[in-house]
Chains A and B, each alone.
Chain A
């Protein structure tokens, strides 16, 4: 319950006009602070939703794969330069951002992560890392502005950030693939969602 309140609080605070203006003024604040915090808000909101609607999660996300497909789709969408610009221009894209990132990326990932078989988890994490890596290369190497609303220099710094996040995810994949996680937990699938 407390986690849910924290998550909700993050969303509400970041939805205020002041915070939106502040966090959308620079590309890295928009993409790597605002969107990341919305994602974390989603992670925090997951347990209560799982408690309240156990049947829903059991029925539609039995082994974790379905929600991971949604998760990957949503993060790919929000890495399109066009989505960023449209969030600034169109109110419904902005609204979609505040709904889709917490619910369709944050909640889905937390629910799926512990249900996934190790191999599927490995595959999805590599896909996620690759998505960050590819957009990172795109943003750092593009000679023209991809987002009309942001400067070229901002775009390059965001690209470097994307690459860094990709590397961190890959490092985490290596960590959980080549170390024996069971020594840290009673049941490796019970509580492995800690870092993501």
Chain B
């Protein structure tokens, strides 16, 4: 009888250990949490790919070298998360004192629907959010391979939904002036994002 209880306790311990390993110590229950943890642990360096903005200018990512980048991934036909995320981004943008920080940070919205999000479409979309095209730019990546590479690196998964929609994971990406990812922020908390950015930029100023 006693033996039986030792055996059961042993099995339960194994079971708990197994679930502990499977969830990284009961912390990551979804692959999205795992992805964000991995990004935090080994932050990727932004690839120097060619991008085109909503003012039809074409350049490489090193255009923004020396500035913090506040980045989101979107597509303009989106009717759910993207508008919310962009509205939240707009809030952050407007609450930051951009006159003061103009040289230190740039806001970027990168479209992954290159086919439909042409320069004109992006520019129209940019108007909805008062995107000025300088300190906040809407970008498209003309080269499919480069886009794939970029999405892969940040762990953005995009699944087509029906014939005209995509479903994708959403976060704010904050990238350091040297191109390395600093952190991912929850797009539902613009307050937190403003605070984080102000702290960062204050340090940069002084």
Contact = CB atoms under 8 A, between A and B. Distances in A.
Contact of B31 (A77, A82, A151): A82
Give the interface SS of chain A, mostly helix, strand, loop or mixed: helix
A150 B161 CA distance: 10
Contacts of A80: 22-23, 29-30
A146 B32 CA distance: 8
B28 interface: yes
Given A81-B30, A82-B31, A149-B159, A69 B15 contact: yes
Nearest to B169: A148
Interface string B67-79: 0000000000000
B192 interface: no
B30 A69 contact: no
Contact of A83 (B15, B22, B157, B159): B22
Interface stretch (B3-11, B101-109, B172-180, B197-205): B3-11
A152 interface: yes
A69 B11 contact: yes
Contact of B167 (A69, A73, A151): A151
Interface string A72-100: 11001100111101100100000000000
A149 B157 contact: yes
A145 B22 contact: no
Contacts of A81: 29-31
A76 B161 CA distance: 29
A145 B167 CA distance: 9
Contacts of A188: none
B196 interface: no
Interface of B: 4, 7-8, 11-12, 15, 18-19, 22-23, 28-35, 157, 159, 161, 167, 169
In the complex, the 8 A-B pairs of residues with the closest C-beta atoms, listed nearest first: A85-B31, A73-B15, A81-B30, A148-B157, A69-B11, A82-B31, A146-B30, A151-B167
